[in-house]
Structure 1
Amino acid sequence: MSASSSHLTFPRAQQAQIIRANQRDLFHVSSLKEQAESVLRAWLGTRRVQRLDKELDVFVKLLYFGLTTGRATQTLGEEYTDIWQYDSRSGSLPPRLSWRLSFIFLSICPPYLLAKLGNDRTFVARKPELASCIKNVASILRIASEVNLAIFYLKGSYYDPIKRLLGVQNLSSFPENPHSKPPSYAILGVMIGVRLIYRLVQSLKSQESQSRDVSVTLEAEGAYLDDKSIESVIAMQGVEDESVKRAEDDEGTALDVERIPPQLRQSRNCALCLEERTDSCVTECGHLFCWNCIVGWGREKPECPLCRQALSLAKLLPIHNL
């Protein structure tokens, strides 16, 4: 029996099946990434693993979807809900190799490249106009993804915008039950639509207020935290690509590190990277860390890694004498 005639006997996958399949895939990708991080942390150290977080995420997704979708087999999420991908335009089941590779590449690589270039301070400084354009493209893609999700909850065809672009849907091996009505997720689509409209209105209001404010106080007068400008402190947020700094080269301390006895220097180690602290800062709960380490940690988990108290990156306090 040909593929085009065989898939006609199978109903389209229901919304609940597609949603559960995607949630299951996200769970397995996250679990695989955590296991890879634990292995790399033992080899490279916490600080280096934090800098390679985006690359590790791309590698794990390429590995997961390459060994499943790339080989024309079900992902673990699709196997869990027993659904299959097929090309609704050509009727091929499974989709052609060219589609499978296109789906994997377009789903993973463009978001990574946009985020990488947008957070690269050297690239932003050299080509600010292009960097601004890249950030705008990334924002447009995020909005398009939310619009696609709203349409999916209303109509239930394409959960992923790349699949909508390529025309790939899902079939279910479970026969339809004429006596039961599948659950509706239309209310979620309406809520996402309302949120998008609200954000659009807020964005328009923000642009209008900025156009009225002819002079920006921060740029005109300058604002400083201790002896550092606010701009330089904010710029320190993009720490993923910075090289490891030696304690002797730390400009964020008033101490002469080289004259500190070795026994005391051991007590200055950061609990996250296990190396001597640089650009030391203190949390609200009183624990000391490297600025780069605690910022990287706080982006993933908003809690102190030692006492688990709530952590706010905006309330980190630079320390120059410890």
Structure 2
Amino acid sequence: MIPRYSFPAAQQAQIIRATQRDGFHLFTLKDQTESVLRSWLGTRWLTRWEKEVDLIVKLAYYGLTTGLAAQTLGEEYTDIWQSTTSGIGVSQRSRLALILLPVLSTYVVARLNLRHPPGDSTLGKVRQSLPATLEIAGEVNLALFYLRGVYYDLVKRVLGIRYHSSVAENPDSRPPSYSLLGVLLATRLAYRLISWLRFRRITADPSKDISGKESQTPAGLNASPEAFLDDRSLSSILSVRDPESKPPIPAEEDEGTILDIRAIPEEIRDSRRCTLCLEERTNGCATDCGHMFCWDCIVGWAREKSECPLCRQSISLPQLIPIHNL
């Protein structure tokens, strides 16, 4: 067994470069996996199961490296490895927790809220706040890392797993400091806390605006009136969960058009295909950037990614435009 004092602690720059390198390899592996699955099963299937694909890719990458007590590609790139605070190697149980906790926690919370929307109960409110809570906890940990130089990952801080390096420290050089980033993150967190406290105060007393003064809006008036599409409210349309999970309907059965689809020439029908499901568009919908998709396809996509799948311009659900008779 190698004593802990035989090797210096990894520097901040080494840990950051290793994390960025692992992120690059994960992105490349996921992109290649999605390309294969898209060619085999189609874009619509991939959009529906994207979170599961991301989960499998991460489990495979870290399972074949950290799970086998080996360095990840990023750790090998910067020549660092994991060890406990006592200087001994990481146990198999800790390695398993190191893989599963960060990957499964975000996946389970996201999928649970998507499949079963949280209600107004106490448990529902807790579930709804979990993603933001995990995000804030990660930012707090990151600010501490930039200030102190250890535990880049929150799970590693909980498990007491540090990084050590085989590269000897140079007494004539001073490692770069990232304290300014820690201060900036702490400032951002303080601003978010103040904004949250103001929001809570407004929620408790709706008659006051954000500055604490009496609101000038007459009672009974809603600042954001409900929008309607024909006789249906937009909120009721967007409240449908997992619309892309419904089986695609033939274009001839599209209720969102009065066109005689069978009478349209084949070359024109080919131009009406949705690039997400690769089928002829039904219940057509246009984004702000002018691209058209099936309504169910683009709503499902926008819930996962707030960008157009073709040009990557930012989109939002309330701004999607239903197109009839096209």
Q: Quickly name the TM-score band, shorter chain normalised.
A: 0.7 to 0.9
Match of 1:113 in 2: 108
Match of 2:203 in 1: 210
CA shift at 1:159, angstroms?
Answer: 0.3
Aligned partner of 1:246: which letter?
Answer: I
Match of 2:216 in 1: none
Q: Distance in 1 between matches of 2:225 and 2:293?
A: 31
Q: Does 1:56 align with 2:53?
A: yes
Q: Does 1:195 align with 2:188?
A: yes
CA contact (8 A) 2:259 2:325 kept: no
> What 5-or-longer segments of structure 2 have no aligned partner?
208-218
Equivalent residue of 1:289, what SS? strand
CA shift at 1:177, angstroms?
Answer: 0.7
Match of 1:158 in 2: 151
Equivalent residue of 2:162, what SS? strand
Change (3 A) 1:179 1:85: same
Q: Distance in 2 between matches of 1:79 and 1:39?
A: 28
> What 5-or-longer segments of structure 1 have no aligned partner?
none
Could you state the TM-score of these two structures normalised by the residue count of structure 2?
0.86
Aligned partner of 1:191: which letter?
Answer: L
Q: Distance in 2 between matches of 1:200 and 1:288?
A: 40
Q: Distance in 2 between matches of 1:35 and 1:110?
A: 25
Aligned partner of 2:153: which letter?
Answer: D
Change (3 A) 1:241 1:71: farther
Match of 1:139 in 2: 132
Aligned-pair RMSD on alpha carbons? Answer: 2.7
Match of 1:302 in 2: 307
* Equivalent residue in structure 2 for 1:255, among 254, 258, 266: 258
Could you state the TM-score of these two structures normalised by the residue count of structure 1?
0.87
CA shift at 1:240, angstroms?
Answer: 7.5
Identity, % of aligned positions: 46
* Equivalent residue in structure 1 for 2:248, among 239, 245, 248: 245
Aligned residues: 311
CA shift at 1:235, angstroms?
Answer: 2.3
Q: Distance in 1 between matches of 2:118 and 2:199?
A: 25
Match of 1:103 in 2: 98
Q: Distance in 2 between matches of 1:304 and 1:57?
A: 18
Q: Distance in 2 between matches of 1:212 and 1:321?
A: 47
CA shift at 1:260, angstroms?
Answer: 4.9
Q: Does 1:46 align with 2:47?
A: no
Q: Distance in 2 between matches of 1:164 and 1:150?
A: 13
CA shift at 1:158, angstroms?
Answer: 0.2
CA contact (8 A) 1:50 1:240 kept: no
